[in-house]
Structure 1
């Protein structure tokens, strides 16, 4: 199976052939994969070198001319380093474009903390109007990329990961999907953490919702699931996100504002892990492996679910 990043290269290369409005801006990362597309479209595949602020600035300029810019590099260099350009060149100028990241929160541990960006979605939450897709499989990544490229002049962030669920789920609009139904609480699994959540909650009387798109936050589906699964006293909701823990707790609390409820946000911790390790070791260290998730979820629910 190809990776999400490999799928990004193949689908974007094809769409550059089909859509003259589409333009790709790179900062060295993934450039080798796009060399054939650059030879075919030298005016619409632009490599600015290791200059990430310029990467976003060029994308904003292309958007002002009516192009649909796609900007790509590691998440830490796409959202964090050029945040001022993201804020001004798209938000302030009222333009649209597509940010496509690689390496997610810790997908290249050998790169160290400079190449990790667990706070990217939380940072974009400080801005208005960004759609955020977090696919859990390369097939979902392709569907969400196609949706993002065709989304008029919207501002879209597509967060690609080396991690993947074993099988894709149909991408149905921007809504959460009900994967499993139960009565003792609701667990929202985001993107590539769905398989871990399903393994962690196997045999438990819980509703599992799957979220390949997290912004806009699908409060309607969460409210409906909480109403069906919550006890008479309150609805218990657990969010399992592959980025900074608690990123979506405010959105969940807002969605359930008129309902007694409790929300637990699980995700990547704030403490820096200073050993390189592997992806799986980082996942376990942040308590996002199936065994840790089961302990944390069952310990939160009331009465405890076993």
Structure 2
């Protein structure tokens, strides 16, 4: 199976052939995937070198000139390093672009902390008007990249991962999918953590919702999963900073008695490079750790009432 990043390069290269408005801007990283497209469209595949602030600035300029720019590099270099340009050259100027990242939270441990960005979605939450897609499989990445590229002048962030679920699901770039139904709580699994969540909740009486578009947050789906007239235990499992979406869940359930547990990467820096599975376990995002934490959280109210 190809990776999300390989699928992104392949589908975007085809889109360059189909849509003369589309342009790809790179900052040295990822250029190999666009070699053929650059030969066909040298004026619309632009490599600015190792200049991430310029990457976003050029994207903003292309958008103001009527183009649909797709900007790509690692998440730490796409959202964190040029954040001022994301804020001003795109947001302040009301210029739309598609930001497609790779190696988000800990997908390349050998790169060290400079190549990790667990806080990218939380950082974009400080800005207005961003759509955020978090695919969990290459097929979903293709669907969401295509949707983002055709989204007019919107500001869209597509967060690709080196991790993947076993199978893709039919995603529409909007709402959450109901994967499993239960009555003891609701677990929202974001992108590539779905397989671990399904293994963790096997046999538990919980509803599992699958989210590949997290902004806008599908509060209506969460409310429907909770059900009318019921108190709610909600667990959010996100492949980035723990608690990133808890405020959105709280807002969606403002008039419903509820508790929310946010699981994801911790704030403490893991200073040993290790491997991806070791980082997953260290952050408590493996199936065994998730089961322990989800089961304890959803069982607590019943125990308290006993």
| Shared fold (TM-score, shorter chain, > 0.5) | yes
| Aligned match of 2:38 | 38
CA distance in 1, matches of 2:166, 2:245: 25
| Aligned match of 2:148 | 148
1:261 aligns with 2:268: no
1:298–1:305 Cα contact (<8 Å) kept: no
Aligned-pair CA distance for 1:300: 1.1
Aligned to 1:301, the other structure's residue is in SS state: helix
Aligned to 2:279, the other structure's residue is in SS state: helix
1:298–1:304 Cα contact (<8 Å) kept: no
CA distance in 1, matches of 2:31, 2:236: 35
**Structure 2, unaligned stretches of length 5 or more?**
none
Q: Give CA-to-partner distance per residue, 1:27-82, whole Å, 9 cap, x none.
A: 01110111111111110000000000000000000000000000000000000000
CA distance in 2, matches of 1:104, 1:280: 15
| Aligned match of 2:197 | 197
Q: Give CA-to-partner distance per residue, 1:154-179, whole Å, 9 cap, x none.
A: 00000000000000000134100000
How many residue pairs get aligned? The number is 303
CA distance in 2, matches of 1:122, 1:80: 11
CA distance in 2, matches of 1:226, 1:302: 16
| Aligned match of 2:234 | 237
1:134–1:213 Cα contact (<8 Å) kept: yes
**Equivalent position to 1:292, from 272, 289, 292:** 289
CA distance in 2, matches of 1:169, 1:159: 17
1:53 aligns with 2:50: no
Aligned to 2:189, the other structure's residue is in SS state: strand
| Aligned match of 2:273 | 276
CA distance in 1, matches of 2:107, 2:191: 14
| Aligned match of 2:23 | 23
> Quick one: structure 1 residues 305 and 45, their matched pair in 2 at CA, closer, same or farther if it must change by over 3 Å?
farther
Aligned-pair CA distance for 1:15: 0.5
Aligned-pair CA distance for 1:302: 3.5
1:84 aligns with 2:81: no
What is the root-mean-square deviation in Å for CA atoms of aligned residues? 1.2
| Aligned match of 2:114 | 114
2:184–2:206 Cα contact (<8 Å) kept: yes
CA distance in 2, matches of 1:172, 1:34: 26
| Aligned match of 1:139 | 139
2:76–2:117 Cα contact (<8 Å) kept: yes
Q: Give CA-to-partner distance per residue, 1:220-258, whole Å, 9 cap, x none.
A: 000111126x8x5x2100000000000000000000001
CA distance in 1, matches of 2:174, 2:41: 32
CA distance in 2, matches of 1:101, 1:264: 27
CA distance in 2, matches of 1:100, 1:276: 24
1:245–1:267 Cα contact (<8 Å) kept: yes
Aligned-pair CA distance for 1:304: 6.8
CA distance in 2, matches of 1:2, 1:302: 40
1:94 aligns with 2:91: no
> TM-score, normalization: structure 1?
0.97
Aligned to 2:299, the other structure's residue is in SS state: coil
> Quick one: structure 1 residues 27 and 211, their matched pair in 2 at CA, closer, same or farther if it must change by over 3 Å?
same
CA distance in 2, matches of 1:174, 1:270: 29
2:144–2:173 Cα contact (<8 Å) kept: no
2:147–2:173 Cα contact (<8 Å) kept: no
CA distance in 1, matches of 2:184, 2:97: 41
Greater than 2 Å deviation, 4+ residue runs: 302-306
